[in-house]
Amino acid sequence: MRVMIILYADKDTESGVIPDTKMFEEMGRFNEELVEAGIMLDGEGLHPSSKGKRVRFSGEKREVIDGPFGRPESLIAGYWIWKVNSIDEAVSWVKRIPSQGSGESLVEIRPIYEEQDFGKEFTPELKEQERRLRSRIAYQKQKGKLLKENPYLNFNGNTEEAFMFYKSVFGGEFSALLRFKDMPQGQTPVAEQEKERILHIALPIGEDTVLMGSDISESMGQKLTTGNNIYISLQTGSKEEAERLYNALSAGGKIEMPLQKMFWGAYFASFSDKFGVQWMINYEEK
């Protein structure tokens, strides 16, 4: 089930007071836990209501009302969208939200309507219309971009070790893991010593990117040749994330160009990791 976690305002948020560094750090760690657990789908903080507007409807009349809108405790200061197994699970996570001071604050949990909640009134035609709308929204988000870019890596017997390393850097869980022994009977046989090798493995490392890989099978005539013409380029949303990925992925590897600000205005680095895979890190300052 999906739930909206509603954070109510207080006098500080309505006054536009920005949290201190400690609070940002604590909330950042909490958000990382949510993402790691596969719970967080979205989340944002809102400007004070003094920067907002309301539109009051009365028949055909439309009245625009400038903020602020009244008592802070009746206003929303931010929200999350979570995917959880139950509302009790959501409650347990809400209790872990970092405290925002010694005063009182309020967090509300509201289940989000799903298709099955609407009953027979939500006809098959309406369901199909809803699916088309969601598909169009997804397309608009991707317009002008590659739909997917999934780098694929080959190794000679150490794919599992390499992907455990990448998992320690990016977090998350493998979306696929097959070994040569999992191939259906009748497929091309492999040598006994190769049956535990990785046939296919996939690790989501971003919203639309999956890192994939496999071991070669020498008994099937495959040969690994490590080239120098393949990089995996990662565009990050912050300098901090660029630094984190650079430091983690380059550990034990070979630096071609350290992370630094380049003449085109971006922070950039290129290097190979300890498995010989070549990476580029790029962060464009806004």
pLDDT, tens only, 75-132: 999 999 999 999 999 999 999 999 866 677 889 999 999 888 888 888 888 888 887 7
- The answer to whether residues 92 and 27 belong to one domain is yes
Average pLDDT, the chain: 86
CA quadruple 122, 38, 154, 228: dihedral sign: positive
Whether the per-residue pLDDT at 177 is higher than 80: the answer is yes
For residue range 148-175, list pLDDT tens digits in order.
Answer: 456 888 899 999 999 999 999 999 899 9
Percent of the chain with pLDDT over 90: 43
pLDDT for res 280: 86
- Helix residue spans in 84-220 (DSSP H): 87-94, 124-142, 159-170
Q: Find the CATH number of the domain harbouring 82.
A: 3.30.70.1060
- Which of 181, 209, 225 represents a domain boundary (last residue)? 225
pLDDT for res 145: 39
Kind and range of the H or E run holding 9: none
- The answer to whether residues 163 and 188 belong to one domain is yes
- Which of 225, 259, 277 represents a domain boundary (last residue)? 225
Percent of the chain with pLDDT over 70: 91
Half-sphere exposure of residue 112: CA atoms within 13 angstroms, side-chain side: 15
- The type of residue at 125 is E
- The answer to whether residues 233 and 283 belong to one domain is yes
Partners of 176 in beta bridges:
202
- The answer to whether residues 7 and 105 belong to one domain is yes
Whether the per-residue pLDDT at 141 is higher than 70: the answer is no
- The answer to whether residues 166 and 245 belong to one domain is no
Query: Whole-angstrom Cα distance, residue 18 to residue 30?
Result: 18
Q: Is 161 in a helix, a strand, or coil? A: helix
Q: Find the CATH number of the domain harbouring 181.
A: 3.30.720.100
- The answer to whether residues 43 and 103 belong to one domain is yes
For residue range 25-56, list pLDDT tens digits in order.
Answer: 999 999 999 988 889 989 999 999 999 999 99
Report the greatest alpha carbon distance in the chain: 78
- The answer to whether residues 36 and 57 belong to one domain is yes
- Which of 128, 145, 162 represents a domain boundary (last residue)? 145
Domain that holds residue 93: 2-111
- The answer to whether residues 103 and 52 belong to one domain is yes
Q: What is the CA radius of gyration of the chain?
A: 25
pLDDT top residue among 189 and 154: 154
- The answer to whether residues 26 and 44 belong to one domain is yes
- The answer to whether residues 9 and 105 belong to one domain is yes
Query: Whole-angstrom Cα distance, residue 69 to residue 74?
Result: 9
- The answer to whether residues 126 and 159 belong to one domain is no
For residue range 191-218, list pLDDT tens digits in order.
Answer: 889 999 998 999 998 777 889 888 988 8
- Confidence class of residue 147 from pLDDT cuts 50, 70 and 90? very low
CA geometry: angle 252, 255, 260, nearest 5 deg: 125
pLDDT for res 140: 60
The total number of structural domains in the chain stands at: 4
pLDDT for res 82: 95
- The answer to whether residues 193 and 130 belong to one domain is no
